[in-house]
Structure 1
Amino acid sequence: MKKILVMLMAFSVIFSGSIFAAKQTFVTIGTGGVTGVYYPVGGAIARLVNAKKAQYNIKATVESTGGSVYNINSVLSGDLEFGIAQADLTYQAYHGQGAWKDKGAQKKLAVVFGLHNEFVTLVASANSGINGIPDLKGKRVNLGGVGSGQLENSRDLLKAFGLKESDLKAEYIKPVESAGLIQDERLDAFFYTVGHPNGSVSEATSGRIKVKIVPITGTPVEKLIKELPYYSKGYIPVSLYPNAANAKDGKVPSIGIQALLVTSTDVPADVVYAITKEVVENIQEFKKLHPALGGLDIEDMVNVNVAPLHPGALKYFKEKGLKK
């Protein structure tokens, strides 16, 4: 009889252990290149969630990816549970525009919360003669990798200023490679939509070839913001790049786009709720994990209108009185 009881108890422990293991949820957050802002921001989210692994049974990991378009498509296909993506591309995917024109509206796409603002950053060698977007004509310019957010943004700006890609000697490579190419004098300029400070921009401005951040401003920019309201005006502080060939105390005007954490409506509401709760309730710690997050506030996280909030995020925001 004792042997039977021992066997039953052992079976019970094994069975309950397997049930506990079965409840463990693994989620992956798609980010961007390791030198960009998405990767450390994704890591910051994962760190906060994993600190409560015993409470939620959620284990979060981070994956370096090709950026916004890749992350959105991977979230929709179920290859990723979460991804960081630009607001403009999230809007286009949800409404079946841009890269999703042939696929139609991606109504499974949902926003978890808003993150930092990114800026379309135009970096050029000081001796290139590039002082504005019109000066890009005939120059060697990296517009961004195929499928990237910066490629869409650079195309928007070229169109706004009446330029075609064929007017430039256009390249379509990852921005992380641009810093080395501009220092090797194989590029005159490159676009990078990114939060600041950024490692690649620092690298580009710190080499033998003098490099500057070019203003993005003027009437065409004003018209673009009216046409595409996910763009907004902003400034890049030159103080973040002490080796840039700009006025040291200046701010370079540009246009900004908010980065978002996105997911699919297929991801369970309790998982999204837990991640939203941990990040929002630890926002002060979260902001310290990367300089680009320094200006983030809860209002920025909640008031996102390019696609619907996931029901799990909405539930949390309603409980806290942050959303009606």
Structure 2
Amino acid sequence: MSLFRWFCLAGVAAGCAISSASFAAAENMDRFFLLGAGEVKGIYFPIASEICRSINRHSLAHGWRCGIAASSGSKENLQQLEDGTLTFAVIQSNIALSSSSIDGNQPLFKTVASLHSEPVHLLVQARSSISSLDDLGRALINIGDQSSGTRDIALSLLDAAGIKKEDYQLLDYDAGSQAGRLCDGDVDALIWVSGIRNSSTAEAYRRCDVRLLPIPIAIAAKVMQQMPGLLPIVIPADTYLGQTVEVSSFGPVAQVVASANAPEELVALLTRAIVGDLGDVRPSHPALSNLSQADLRRMLSNDVK
């Protein structure tokens, strides 16, 4: 099992009357679970933080406490779900579809909710001679950690574009350092799958002159055909400081999933923290800002409504 960092956000209960039901719940406060997020500078982490914060705020009432497990991304989260370390995780929809069962029969997890879309961000310095996907031959390309969901999509994208493996060099800087590496000239291009207005891309736009390159529709279609769970996405103009035109792309949808063994009462509790009487996940990140409460409710899994 790979190492990971986890953070427990304590619930707050002060200056209020506690009912007998709350006392009973408080006696069972050892009911603790972990929610797998991604890198701290990614979007999954603040989403997971908000969900845990909502649950822990009411922990005296229901007796559960939630902790956040930071990770390198969807693939590590999936591994942690499988070995029982995590009870819930945020993962990419394409990874969810390709890994929905252990042996073809036994479900590995159940989907709780679908959240925001996560376009491929292909980013270069503005002064770079790279003007399209076809120009990535002989480039130093950062595609993130080997346990991240970005890597599989990036490799499929390069293959669909007809760029041979021997013609480029792959790097694995994480989300926290990749913007600085691009601006310092240590990498020629970033391929990064994340929600709109993610902090890593925003940091690159703040630190130096950069450009988002469009993904040609025909090439995106090839990747989507090979990898179910991806969809066309447009990054709107003015999403990032200095980005004046919309950019065509594609990518997965972020999904909250539960271990197949998660108690039904806990799955229902998490649903209420995503959109319900316990909380609302939408303020946690701008990537979710365009979703209405009705949108979130429509995207809740039929298994947990």
TM-score by length of 2: 0.84
1:164 counterpart letter in structure 2: K
Shift of 1:18: 8.9
Partner of 1:213: 212
Relative to 1, partners in 2 of residues 1:200 and 1:286: Cα closer, same or farther, differing over 3 Å? Answer: same
Matches within 5 A, 1:134-173: 134-173=134-173
Relative to 1, partners in 2 of residues 1:187 and 1:134: Cα closer, same or farther, differing over 3 Å? Answer: same
Partner of 1:237: 236
Determine if the alignment matches structure 1 residue 201 to structure 2 residue 207: no
Please state whether the residue corresponding to 1:131 is helix, strand or coil.
coil
Determine if the alignment matches structure 1 residue 181 to structure 2 residue 181: yes
Q: What's the % identity of the aligned pairs?
A: 26
Relative to 1, partners in 2 of residues 1:106 and 1:128: Cα closer, same or farther, differing over 3 Å? Answer: farther
Determine if the alignment matches structure 1 residue 31 to structure 2 residue 37: yes
CA distance in 1, matches of 2:104, 2:130: 38
Partner of 1:108: 108
CA distance in 2, matches of 1:296, 1:19: 33
CA distance in 1, matches of 2:74, 2:168: 25
CA distance in 1, matches of 2:214, 2:77: 29
Determine if the alignment matches structure 1 residue 54 to structure 2 residue 76: no
CA RMSD of aligned residues (A): 2.5
Q: Assess if the C-alpha contact under 8 Å between 2:54 and 2:278 holds in 1.
A: no
CA distance in 1, matches of 2:297, 2:174: 28
Higher alpha-carbon deviation: 22-31 or 152-161: 22-31
Relative to 1, partners in 2 of residues 1:157 and 1:116: Cα closer, same or farther, differing over 3 Å? Answer: same
Flag the structure with higher helix content.
1
CA distance in 1, matches of 2:262, 2:237: 41
Shift of 1:166: 2.4
Please state whether the residue corresponding to 2:197 is helix, strand or coil.
coil
Partner of 2:249: 254
Shift of 1:125: 1.0
Q: Assess if the C-alpha contact under 8 Å between 1:93 and 1:106 holds in 2.
A: no
Q: Residue by residue, what CA displacement relative to the aligned partner does 1:245-272 show, whole Å, maximum 9, x if unpaired?
A: x4x2x21111021001112111111111
Please state whether the residue corresponding to 1:32 is helix, strand or coil.
coil
Relative to 1, partners in 2 of residues 1:230 and 1:186: Cα closer, same or farther, differing over 3 Å? Answer: same
Partner of 1:222: 221
CA distance in 2, matches of 1:73, 1:301: 28
1:213 counterpart letter in structure 2: L
Q: Residue by residue, what CA displacement relative to the aligned partner does 1:134-183 show, whole Å, maximum 9, x if unpaired?
A: 11111111122111111011011112112233221221232322111111
Q: Residue by residue, what CA displacement relative to the aligned partner does 1:262-303 show, whole Å, maximum 9, x if unpaired?
A: 121111111111111232225984212321111235455655
1:185 counterpart letter in structure 2: G
Q: Assess if the C-alpha contact under 8 Å between 1:175 and 1:190 holds in 2.
A: no
Determine if the alignment matches structure 1 residue 83 to structure 2 residue 89: yes
Q: Assess if the C-alpha contact under 8 Å between 1:176 and 1:200 holds in 2.
A: yes
CA distance in 2, matches of 1:77, 1:302: 30
CA distance in 2, matches of 1:301, 1:159: 37
Q: Assess if the C-alpha contact under 8 Å between 1:179 and 1:201 holds in 2.
A: yes
1:39 counterpart letter in structure 2: F
Q: Which runs of 5+ in 2 are unaligned?
A: 1-22
CA distance in 1, matches of 2:197, 2:130: 22
2:264 counterpart letter in structure 1: A
CA distance in 1, matches of 2:49, 2:176: 19
1:219 counterpart letter in structure 2: A
Q: Which runs of 5+ in 1 are unaligned?
A: 1-16, 97-102, 318-324
Q: Assess if the C-alpha contact under 8 Å between 1:114 and 1:301 holds in 2.
A: no
Q: Residue by residue, what CA displacement relative to the aligned partner does 1:76-99 show, whole Å, maximum 9, x if unpaired?
A: 111111111101111122256xxx
Task: Give the total of aligned pairs.
Answer: 283
Shift of 1:106: 6.7
Matches within 5 A, 1:247-286: 248=244, 250-281=245-276, 285-286=280-281
